[in-house]
Structure 1
Amino acid sequence: MPGFIQITDTHIVPRGALAYGRSDTATALQRAIGTINAKLPLMDGIDCAIVTGDLTDHGTPEEYAHFASLMTNLDLPWMAVPGNHDRRDAMRAAFSDQPWMPAEGPIHWTRDFGHFSLIALDTLLEGAHHGALAPEALAFLDASLRAIGDQPAVVATHHPWMHAGNPAMDADNLRNGAALMKRLEAHPGQLRMISGHVHRAVTGQIGRIPCQIAPAPCHAVATDHRQDVEAALTLEPGAVTVYRWQGAAHGGLVSDALPTVTFSGPWPFQD
């Protein structure tokens, strides 16, 4: 059955540097790529990876070049949307040869997996931590949903609309997500919204729409539900998220967090 892998918030910095002076994001991405490549023979149907924003930490050409060099080792084609740490023009220039990259404007794209479609939306507001969907994004979404009829769809963004429970991060999520959710609610097929930005695995539901936030392969945002506390990073084990369409009677899109740390096993349950 078809599927894809979500990588998010890689925050690549110049070679030899650490993000925030602590997080070795390049090594974390290398580890994630190694994990994906090793697991691919066991995951039938995975045909691409998507990167849901914050590819780099400052959006510089040097950082995008470093990101691109690391991604050459991935045994899958990949595509991406920008996050608040990215810069659209620099990202477009770095990946202008990629078939998913539009020649101008916001970086939106779609991919047809047969059983479902993926619609990726650009939520970047240059210079802001929070995100928003421009009128062009909503028009792109409308056209994409019309084109697929009642086919199930996954909508991918960097900024989530649902609150994750961390006030410092929730303040910087998607500001006009109500307009997005109104359109998703009206779609006749199954829908799911997936995002990044929070560096944690969080699930919820808005109306009938399941919403997921994916963990990052590098640092996490510390869990802290108190008000008026600034966001902080922790060096927790990283992960990527695997999505596969299950064809059984009770199937649909199923997700699984794949840790990118080294661990023992597998062993049979019986000695």
Structure 2
Amino acid sequence: MKFIHLTDTHLVQPGKKLYGLDPQARLAAAVDDINANHADAVQVVVTGDLTHWGEPEAYELFRETMSKLNLPYVVLVGNHDRRGPCLAALNAAPRDKNGFVQGTFDHPQARFVFLDTLNEQSHAGQMCDTRLSWLADTLAAMPADRDLCLFMHHPPFAIGIHDMDRISLAENHQFQEVITPVMGRIRHLFFGHLHRPVSGSWLGIPFSTLRGTSHQVWFDMRPDCPHLASHEPPAYGVVLMRAEGMVVHTHDFLDQSPRVPFSKPGQDDRAYQLGPVEAVN
């Protein structure tokens, strides 16, 4: 099974730029690339920060841009989003009984659990008691042999970039307590927020995140470093999920660097490799 991970699209009002970039044009390019190369994917999951300021016009622009996608998609909310305008504009946003952007989706390989970590008063993530209770009930109701993948905007742990660690999930310990009973069945944790390609494991759970489709966060781990946005290439994730494991690719979909043919196997093409080569793109 293949699915696509998008994150941090940060759309603004039509015609506006953000940090010198056009977020809508970049999202549109991602949609075109996914349509052209991954028509066999079953779903696209967008892990929050759909807009930069939560404006209704930005959500409408997001909806219009994503309408060109030839695949079903699900959206979550991040710290730059606003629930009301998001839910009003996007049918792709799940909604639980309490009005949070949370829900589940069943795939043959696993149940996807989508979480709302938005605190509209802070850029840090929040899982309030109501949301934690929903998660606990959702996990408890799952069959004991059912695997799951978790999707959220904020990481529930520090990653070493200090300004981002200050606005990670605040209730990380409570979150850990809730997922402990199913820890061995969580196949992967996907999140956004960081605008960086980061992967590893947390409490034995594999995780990954990636650069957004708009601006990025510059990589600097010094405690006193300035908090900088960058124009590093945008990306999306291509996830291959099988019974025996999972592979997560990160694709820089706007990369235009030269591409040249490799030598043919079994041939000594040293002269070709050392000489001038002609790009094929």
Both proteins in one fold, TM over 0.5: yes
Is 1:231 equivalent to 2:227 in the alignment?
A: yes
Q: Deviations over 1:67-112 (max 9, x none)?
A: 11111111111111110100011111112x4473447521101111
Within 2, Cα distance between the matches of 1:156 and 1:60? 24
Q: Which amino acid aligns with 1:240?
A: Y
Where does structure 1 differ by over 6 angstroms across 4 or more consecutive aligned residues? none
Task: Give secondary structure in 2 for the equivalent of 1:111.
Answer: strand
Within 2, Cα distance between the matches of 1:98 and 1:35? 20
Give 1:25's aligned residue: 23
Within 1, Cα distance between the matches of 2:140 and 2:26? 39
Within 2, Cα distance between the matches of 1:104 and 1:69? 27
Q: How does 1:81-120 map to 2 (within 5 A)?
A: 81-95=76-90, 97-98=91-92, 100-102=94-96, 105-120=99-114
> Any conservation in 2 of the 1:160–1:213 contact (CA below 8 Å)?
no
Is 1:215 equivalent to 2:211 in the alignment?
A: yes
Within 1, Cα distance between the matches of 2:220 and 2:255? 27
Give 5+ residue unaligned stretches, structure 2: 266-281
> Any conservation in 2 of the 1:5–1:48 contact (CA below 8 Å)?
yes
Is 1:185 equivalent to 2:153 in the alignment?
A: no
Is 1:5 equivalent to 2:4 in the alignment?
A: yes
CA RMSD of aligned residues (A): 2.0
Task: Give secondary structure in 2 for the equivalent of 1:205.
Answer: strand
Give 2:152's aligned residue: 157
Is 1:256 equivalent to 2:255 in the alignment?
A: no
> Any conservation in 2 of the 1:216–1:238 contact (CA below 8 Å)?
yes
Q: Which amino acid aligns with 2:252?
A: P
Q: Deviations over 1:194-242 (max 9, x none)?
A: 1100101111222211222222112110011111334211101110012
Sort the Cα spacing of 1:64 and 1:266 in 2 relative to 1 into closer, same or farther, 3 A.
Answer: farther
- TM-superposed CA distance for 1:267, in Å, is 4.8
Task: Give secondary structure in 2 for the equivalent of 1:47.
Answer: coil
Is 1:34 equivalent to 2:12 in the alignment?
A: no
Percent sequence identity over matched residues?
31
Q: Which amino acid aligns with 1:256?
A: H
Q: Deviations over 1:169-191 (max 9, x none)?
A: 11111111222223333214243
Instruction: Please give the TM-score of this superposition, normalised by the length of structure 2.
Output: 0.87
Give 1:80's aligned residue: 75
Instruction: Please give the TM-score of this superposition, normalised by the length of structure 1.
Output: 0.90
Q: How does 1:139-150 map to 2 (within 5 A)?
A: 139-148=133-142, 149-150=144-145
> Any conservation in 2 of the 1:184–1:209 contact (CA below 8 Å)?
no
Give 5+ residue unaligned stretches, structure 1: none
> Any conservation in 2 of the 1:168–1:228 contact (CA below 8 Å)?
no
Give 1:205's aligned residue: 201
- TM-superposed CA distance for 1:244, in Å, is 1.9
Is 1:134 equivalent to 2:128 in the alignment?
A: yes
> Any conservation in 1 of the 2:76–2:93 contact (CA below 8 Å)?
no
> Any conservation in 2 of the 1:118–1:155 contact (CA below 8 Å)?
yes
> Any conservation in 2 of the 1:185–1:207 contact (CA below 8 Å)?
no
Give 2:116's aligned residue: 122
Within 2, Cα distance between the matches of 1:267 and 1:110? 44
> Any conservation in 2 of the 1:5–1:50 contact (CA below 8 Å)?
yes
